[in-house]
Amino acid sequence: MGRGPRAGRRRSRQRAGAALVRARARENDRGDPVRADVVAIPQRATTDTLGQVPAKLFDAMALARPIVSTTVSMIPEILDGCGCLVPPGNVLALAGAIRRLLENADEAAALGRRARERCDARYSFRAARATLFPLIDSLAPRAGHTHRER
């Protein structure tokens, strides 16, 4: 349970039936999704987050991890059919989705596989290359170059 000013509160929650999934100091948090059974990426609906997508979303997808995130920005479009979505700020829905995936390994694995497939098909270098290189080639002759000459 660790030490520090909150250790007593954590112990009392554990005695009350709460389960501590993971606790570590933020400065040591590398956001390592490799070992995670479920990756939770909750975003708040603020003016700052409405125009961004966290890079760790694509990391978790590439690693075939099951993902729980919120309906903010383009996250619903990115995770459509390959992740669990909950409303921003709804802690109970977030906890419920995480619990559901932890208790249903087959569902979690299927979501992880679909996330990996989607990441490869839409967000990988290969996918970007298939879209961007033809565009670059169509523009480069105007400047007398193609991407293949570099």
Backbone angles phi, psi at 88, to 5 degrees: -65, 140
> Is it the case that residue 4 has pLDDT exceeding 80?
no
Q: Per the structure block, which two tokens stand in for 30?
A: 């590398």
How do residues 61-111 score in pLDDT, each as one tens digit? Answer: 999 999 999 999 999 999 999 999 999 999 999 999 999 999 999 999 999
Is residue 142 domain-resident?
Answer: yes
Interatomic CA distance for residues 55 and 112, integer angstroms: 17
Q: Is the pTM of this model over 0.75?
A: no
In-domain check, residue 7: no
Beta bridge partners of 69: 41, 85
Q: What is the pLDDT of residue 113?
A: 98
Q: How confident is the model at residue 25 (pLDDT cuts 50, 70, 90)?
A: very low
Note the pLDDT tens digit of each residue in 104-145: 999 999 999 999 999 999 999 999 999 999 988 888 776 666
* CATH number of 88's domain: 3.40.50.2000
Q: Indicate the number of domains in the chain.
A: 1
